[in-house]
Copies of this chain bind each other. A is one copy, B any other.
Amino acid sequence: MRKRRYAIIGTGAVGGFYGARLARAGLDVHFLLRSDFEHVRAHGLVVESPDGDFALPRVQAYARAADLPAADVTVLAVKTTENGRLAELLPASLVGEGAVLVLQNGLGNEDEVAAAVGHGRVTGGLCFLCSNKAGPGRIQHLDYGFVTLADYAADGRPPGVTDRMREIAADFQAAGIPTEFADDLVLARWRKLVWNVPFSGLSVVLDATSAELMADPAARRLAEDLMRDVADGARACGKAIEEGFLRHMLGLTEKMTPYRTSMKIDYDLGRPMEVEAIFGRPVRAAREAGAACPRMAALYALLGFLDARNRARRGA
Contacts and interface: CB of A to CB of B under 8 A. Distances in A.
Contact of A301 (B208, B222, B308): B222
A302 B205 contact: yes
Assembly stoichiometry (copies) = 2
A218 B302 CA distance: 8
A306 interface: yes
Contact of A218 (B213, B225, B295, B300): B300
A219 B300 CA distance: 9
Given A216-B308, A294-B294, A308-B216, A301 B205 contact: no
A272 interface: no
Interface string A199-240: 000100110100001001011011001000000000000000
A299 interface: yes
Contacts of A202: 302
A170 to B, nearest CB: 44
A216 B298 contact: no
Contact of A298 (B208, B298, B308, B309): B298
A302 B299 CA distance: 10
B294 A216 contact: no
A128 interface: no
A304 interface: yes
Nearest to A295: B298
Interface in A268-315: 294-295, 297-302, 304-306, 308-309
A78 B202 CA distance: 32
A309 B306 CA distance: 21
Interface in A42-70: none
A301 B305 CA distance: 19
Given A294-B294, A298-B295, A305 B225 contact: no
Nearest 9 A/B pairs, CB to CB: A222-B301, A294-B294, A218-B304, A218-B301, A219-B305, A295-B298, A216-B305, A298-B298, A294-B295
18 contacts: A202-B302, A205-B205, A206-B302, A206-B305, A208-B309, A216-B304, A218-B300, A218-B304, A218-B305, A219-B302, A219-B304, A221-B301, A222-B298, A222-B302, A225-B294, A225-B298, A294-B298, A295-B295
